[in-house]
Amino acid sequence: MFQKIDQYRYIIPTSYKKGMRIEGMVYADDDLIKQIEKDQTKEQVANVATLPGLVGRSLAMPDAHQGYGFCIGGVAAADPDEGVVSAGGVGFDINCGVRLLAAPVDAKDVQQKIEPLLNQLFRDIPCGTGRKGLLEISTSKLDGVLRDGAQWAVKNNYGREEDCARIEEFGKLPEADPSLVSARAKERGHHQLGTLGSGNHFLEIQRVTDVFDEEIARKFGVHEDQLVVLIHSGSRGLGHQVCTDYLDIMQDGMKRYGISVIDRQLACVPITSSEGQRYLKAMAAAANFAFANRQMMTHWVRNAFMRVLGTGDVKIVYDVCHNIAKMEEHEIDGKRRRVLVHRKGATRAFPKGHPVLPEELRDVGQPVLIPGSMGTSSYILVGTEQAMKETFGSSCHGAGRAKSRTQAKKETSAEQLLKEMKEKGIVVRGESRSGLTEEKPDAYKDVSRVVDVVHGAGIARKVAKLVPLAVMKG
């Protein structure tokens, strides 16, 4: 029972399900809403709306699909005094995110070098299932990573001073407390720093094919035909274990605080509780691990560019979190308030003038990076005031899955997929053949359609379109 309120917005009223305390809202067009209705997304948006102390609406972005507890593509904000924090509302891959790098070369000038460049990246950046990183770091060093994130990496010569201004939160969530990350989480993560991972994680060499807003694109540091690199990765086993640990703690905590939830995966505790505060500090540490992870891969991308193209002057366009919970200031019912925004498969999309943006982006707005599925397009957008009014400054995070892994595998063989990619002029290197087919392009929704909804609804605005030349998959 969706109530369509305009071309891009569908309300789920509180009468839809017993216990809903706030409305739900889904951003979609006529086609995407049909896809969203096929799975449990709507139920999950409604379930989230039953959690205590949420403000505004329980939101789903146009790339939303069924997840665990929260849908993927979900956004929900909680009052800091009355509200709850949910580990499931952030997800297992804490600070899974994307980073876009801009190279000082145009695609037309380096056509023959794309494959050697991909091969070099494939050699230099560990990827795939169960792969260890290039370095084993000690527990005390790992604590530095968890405390300082990308800033740790830069201090340790994996980057440049100016890199951090181009990362959400300057690459470091300061509330991180490494002592609240379990020994198990550290054990799962310490050898995975600087690894891409598997599943939907990838690295692509892309070309800027369309620029929709010249001025903003220029300020972001991108222009037509430029070569760019998009990295999609997260906090690896360390983040997965932090979520697992605190889901357990929250299961037990709920009894203490008299909270019951419709779905156990929505386990939550008051933000003000000791469990809630500990989770947020451990989550921040895992988020910092992910920032450092993407920073180290950036360093190796620069080295690969230097070796193959003779220039390592690759700049960060931006780095955004997809799975995170953060205290932010928003206007709710006409009043400015601090709220805890859960983004699960959603991107922050702050407009120009926002005080948390670095000086160099303050008169433009925050770059919003939307990766498409393998071999399709990706987009750069910019945050808007409208997003601040409606979505706690949030936008979509990608194409959003449309087919299950098993279905994708049944439909296409790895050989077929590689042939199709080759016909499109895209080189692919993948560690796992079955992993490749599970991530085939049409296993996802049409990213252009998703981005058009976001643009049309005004919760982010299109700046440029990117098309892959080479894909590295875990």
Partner 1 sequence: MSGPFNSYVSRVEAPYTILEHPADLGIEARGASLVEAFQNAAAGLISIILDPTLIEPREERQIRVTASDRDQLLVKWLSEILYLYDGEGFASKEFFIRRLGLTDVEASVRGEPFSPVRHQTRLDVKAVTYHQLLVHEGEPGALVRVYLDI
Cα separation, 381 vs 385, whole angstroms: 13
Q: Which is nearer to partner 1, 9 or 184 (CB)?
A: 184
Query: Tokens standing for 77?
Result: 């904000």
Q: Which x/- pattern, by CB under 8 A, does the window 282-301 give for partner 1?
A: --------------------
Q: Which stretch binds partner 1 (CB under 8 A): 26-34, 127-135, 366-374, 375-383?
A: 127-135
Residue 95 near partner 1 by CB under 8 A: no
Q: Residues 11, 13, 29, 39: which binds partner 1 (CB under 8 A)?
A: 39
The answer for residues whose C-beta is within 8 angstroms of residue 342's C-beta and 6 or more apart is: 70, 74, 75, 76, 77, 78, 85, 86, 89, 90, 324, 325
CB of 68 to partner 1, least distance (A): 4
Q: Which stretch binds partner 1 (CB under 8 A): 8-16, 216-224, 385-393, 396-404?
A: 396-404
Q: Which stretch binds partner 1 (CB under 8 A): 116-124, 197-205, 225-233, 284-292?
A: 197-205
CB of 117 to partner 1, least distance (A): 25
Active site residues: 397
Residue 258 near partner 1 by CB under 8 A: no
Q: Which stretch binds partner 1 (CB under 8 A): 7-15, 170-178, 273-281, 399-407?
A: 399-407
Residue 357 near partner 1 by CB under 8 A: no
Residue 416 near partner 1 by CB under 8 A: no
Q: How far is CA 44 from CA 64, 247, 401, in A?
A: 10, 18, 16
CB of 244 to partner 1, least distance (A): 5
CB of 196 to partner 1, least distance (A): 11
Q: How far is CA 334 from CA 189, 210, 341, in A?
A: 43, 38, 18
CB of 471 to partner 1, least distance (A): 18
CA 385, 391, 393, 399 torsion: positive or negative? negative
Tokens 């379109």, residue? 465
Residue 188 near partner 1 by CB under 8 A: yes
Q: Which stretch binds partner 1 (CB under 8 A): 66-74, 349-357, 362-370, 415-423?
A: 66-74
CB of 242 to partner 1, least distance (A): 10
Q: Do the beta carbons of residue 110 and residue 169 sit within 8 Å?
A: no
Pairing assessment for the beta strands 54-65 and 24-27 based on DSSP bridges: parallel
Q: Which x/- pattern, by CB under 8 A, does the window 130-149 give for partner 1?
A: xx------------------
Residue 432 near partner 1 by CB under 8 A: yes
Q: Which is nearer to partner 1, 137 or 208 (CB)?
A: 137
Q: Which is nearer to partner 1, 36 or 154 (CB)?
A: 36
Instruction: Give the number of residues in contact with partner 1, rule: CB under 8 A.
Output: 45
CB of 44 to partner 1, least distance (A): 10
Q: Residues 23, 63, 93, 148: which binds partner 1 (CB under 8 A)?
A: 93
Q: Residues 69, 89, 398, 468: which binds partner 1 (CB under 8 A)?
A: 69
Q: Residues 14, 119, 156, 244: which binds partner 1 (CB under 8 A)?
A: 244
CB of 349 to partner 1, least distance (A): 23
Q: Which stretch binds partner 1 (CB under 8 A): 155-163, 403-411, 422-430, 448-456?
A: 403-411
Residue 241 near partner 1 by CB under 8 A: yes
Residue 386 near partner 1 by CB under 8 A: no
Q: Which stretch binds partner 1 (CB under 8 A): 68-76, 285-293, 358-366, 420-428?
A: 68-76
Cα separation, 451 vs 132, whole angstroms: 35
Residue 406 near partner 1 by CB under 8 A: yes
Residue 68 near partner 1 by CB under 8 A: yes
Residues that bind partner 1 (CB under 8 A): 39, 65-69, 72, 91-93, 128-131, 184, 187-188, 197-199, 237, 240-241, 243-244, 247-248, 251-252, 255, 263-265, 267, 401-407, 432, 434-435, 474
